[in-house]
Chain A
Amino acid sequence: MSAFLALVTAAFRREAEHRSRILMRILGGLVEILARISIWKAAFGGHGTLSGISLDEMITYSLIGGTILSSWDATMIVRDVGATIRTGAIGSSLLRPMHYPVMLLAEQIGVRLFDWLLISLPVIVIMGSIYGLQPPESLAHALLFVGYVVVSLAILMGFAILVGLLSFWVFDAHALEWFMRGLLAVLSGGLVPIWFYPQGLAEVAHALPFSWIAYHPLAAYLGQRDLTEELLILAAGAGWAAVLAFAVAFVWSRACAQVVVQGG
C-alpha cells in the first residue's frame, strides 16, 4: 500500500512540474463549460423545464459533468500504455516488483487528483460564480455523490486500463483511444444526460457500466431518485467496478505471456 500511495504522490508531483500547462487547461475547461452552458440555454429557449429538468439543474450538470466526471482525459491512459509498448519502455515497468496495472492505476489516480484540485476546482468556482451551481439535493445525496465519484473513478480507470492493455495485441493505440473516447462520450452521459436519450439508446446506456461514470453520480447529486434506489444503483456500480477489476487481472495475465519487449 505504501508503494501505491508513493506512486500516487509521485504522479501528482510530476503533473505539478508542468506549470504552463495548468493555466492552458483551466482556460480550455472554461471555454468548454461555456460552450455546454450556451447549448443548454439555447435548447431550453426560455422554457422553465424540459422533461422535468430545470435549466439551473442542467447548468450544474454541465459544470460537474464537464470537469470532475469528464472521461475525456482518461483516454490518455490508452495512449500512454500504447506508447510504453511501442517504444519498449514497458520493459522498465516489468522489472519492478509490482503488477503493471496496479502501477498504472496509482499513477492515473495521482494525475486525476491533480486535475480535480488544480483544474476542475478553479473551473467550477469561476463558472459556478457566474452561472450558479446548485447544491446537492440533501446531505444524504451529497454523501452518496461522494460514493458515486469513487465508483465513477474505479469504472473509468478499470475500463481505460482494460482498453490500454489491448495495445499488447493491437499495436495502434490511437484507434483504441478514439474508440474509447467516442463510446464514453455517448454512454457515460457526461455530455447529454441519459434522461434526454431516445428509449432504445437509454436502455443500452443503462445496461452498460459507463453510465456510472457521469450520469448516475449527477442524477444522485441533483436528487432525481429516492435514497433507497440510489443505494441500490450505487451498489450495482460497485459491482461493475469489481467486474472490470477482474477483467483487467485476467487480460493482464494473458498479456504477460504475450509481452514482446521492443528494441534492444
Chain B
Amino acid sequence: MTAIIRAEHVAKIFRQQVRRSGMLGPLKDFVMPVTRPVNAVDGISFDIEPGEAVGYLGPNGAGKSTMIKMLTGILAPSAGTVSVLGRNPQAQRVLNARQIGVVFGQRTQLWWELPLIESFELHRRMYRVPASVYQRNRADLVEMMELSAFIERPVRHLSLGQRMRAEIAMALMHDPKILFLDEPTIGLDVVAKDVVRKFLSRINRERGTTIILTTHDLQDIEEICPRLIMVDDGKLLFDGTIAALRVTFGARRRLTLEFAQDPGHVELDRAEPAGGEGVQRLFLLPDDQRPLLHILSALKAGADLRDVRLHEPGIEEIIRTHYQSKVSA
C-alpha cells in the first residue's frame, strides 16, 4: 500500500524577533529588527498508510501543531516535503481541503452566531457534498454524537463538550479520507473525553478514515491510536506501537505479590525484585510475553499466596520516565 501521508525531512523554522531592553530598545527594534531562528519542526520523516490511527505526541511547544498545520496546507515547510493524498497540501490547498477534515481543539470552525444546523448547511455547500450523502452523514453523525438536543441552538450557547462533538461531526460531514485533530479533548470533562475517544476509534474502524491526532493526553492515544509518533524539541523521538514504546523506553510491568505470612526469600524466574518486605513483595517483569501463571509457578509449593496485582505501565509513566531521564542527563 502506498502512504496516504508522507513527511520527508520536514523542517519549519520561524523567525522570532528579539526584543532589546532599555529606553532605546523599541526604537532599535523598529529600525533594525534582530531575529533568531526557532526550529519548531526539525527534520522529521514518517509515512502513514490509509486507515491508520496515529497519535502525534509531545510536550507543549514540541512542534505538534506546526506539523498539523503543514499537513493541512496552512503553513509551508521551510525545508523537506510533505505530501497528503499525493499532493503538496500547501500548493493545492483548496483541493486538499476538500478531502481532509480538521478539528482544532482550541479554535472553532463553526459559525459562532448561527444555529449549529446552519454551520452544517454552510459546510455542505462549501465542500459541495451531494444532498443524499449529506442527509445520510448528518443523520448518522447527529445520532452518534448526540447532537439533536442542541442542533437548533446558536453555537455560542453550546458548552465546550457539546461544541467539540459538533466540531468533530462537522469535520466528517464531507466523508474526508483523513481526519486531523489537534488536541481534540483539551478542556473536556471525563465523560465528554470518553464520548469523543469512543467515537473516533469507531470512525477509524468502521469508515476506515485515517486519523492523525495530536495530544498531550496519553489516554487519547491508548484508546484510539495503535501507532504513536513522539516528538520533542521539533525532533522525532519515537515512531511505533505502544508495545514497542515500552520496550524502547524500558518500561516494565510491575507485579505485586501478597502472602498470608512472610515467605522469606522469594525468587521468580527472570523477574527483578523491586522492593517490598514482609508479606508484600514487588517485582519488575521483563517484556517477554510469558503468561503470568507460568511466572508464578516458580513460587515455592508451600507459599500461601493471597493476592496478585499486575500493574501495566501507562504511556504517561513511560514518557515521564523518559523526560525525567533527559532532564537529569
Task: Please list the residues of chain A having a beta carbon within 8 angstroms of any beta carbon in chain B.
Answer: 2-3, 6-7, 10, 13-14, 17, 88-89, 91-92, 94-99, 256-257, 259-261, 263-264
Across the interface, do B104 and A259 meet the contact criterion of CB distance under 8 Å? no
Bound together, the chains give a CA A188 to CA B107 distance in angstroms of 38
With a CB–CB cut-off of 8 A, which chain B residues contact A7?
A: 122, 126
Minimum CB–CB distance from A106 to chain B (whole Å) comes to 10
Which residue of B90, B104, B121 contacts A91 across the interface (Cβ within 8 Å)?
B104
Q: Which of the residues A6, A14, A91 comes within 8 Å of B74, measured between beta carbons?
A: A91
Are A95 and B113 within 8 A (Cβ)?
A: no
Q: A3-B126, A259-B75, A264-B183 are in contact. List 13 more A-B contacts (CB 8 A).
A: A6-B121, A6-B125, A7-B122, A13-B118, A92-B109, A94-B93, A98-B94, A98-B126, A256-B90, A259-B74, A259-B76, A260-B14, A261-B74
A–B complex contacts, Cβ < 8 Å, 14 sampled: A14-B113, A17-B113, A91-B69, A91-B107, A92-B104, A92-B107, A95-B72, A95-B74, A95-B109, A96-B109, A97-B98, A97-B127, A98-B94, A264-B182
The answer to whether B106 touches A94, judged by C-beta atoms less than 8 angstroms apart, is no
Q: Which residues of B contact A261 (CB under 8 A)?
A: 69, 74-75
Contact between chains at B122 and A95 (CB < 8 Å): no
CA distance A178 to B61 in the complex (A): 36
B125 close to A95 (CB less than 8 A): no
Q: Which of B261-309 contact A (CB under 8 A)?
A: none
Given the contacts A95-B72, A97-B94, A97-B97, A13 and B114 also touching, CB distance less than 8 Å: yes
Give the most central of B73, B95, B104, B111: most A CB within 10 Å. B104
A10 surroundings in chain B (CB, below 8 A): 111, 114, 118, 122
Pairwise interchain contact B65-A94, C-beta atoms closer than 8 A: no
Task: Assess the A99–B94 pair: CB atoms within 8 A.
Answer: yes
CB of B65 within 8 A of CB of A264, answer: yes
**Contact assessment for B114 and A257 in the assembled complex, using a CB-CB cutoff below 8 Å:** no
Q: A6-B122, A6-B125, A13-B114 are in contact. Are A263 and B106 (CB under 8 A)?
A: yes
1/0 per residue B134-145: CB within 8 Å of A?
000000000000
Q: Does B154 contact A (CB under 8 A)?
A: yes
Cα distance, A261 to B12, chains bound together (Å): 13
The distance in angstroms between the C-alpha atoms of A260 and B15, with both chains bound, is 10
Contacts of B255 in A (CB 8 A): none
In whole Å, how far is B106's beta carbon from the nearest beta carbon of chain A?
Answer: 6
Cα distance A98–B75 in the bound complex, in angstroms = 16
Annotate B181-203 by CB proximity to A: 1 below 8 A, 0 otherwise.
01100000000000000000000
List the A residue with the shortest CB-CB distance to B124: A6
- Which residues of the other chain, A, contact B20 by a CB distance below 8 angstroms? none
Q: Is B128 an interface residue (CB 8 A)?
A: yes
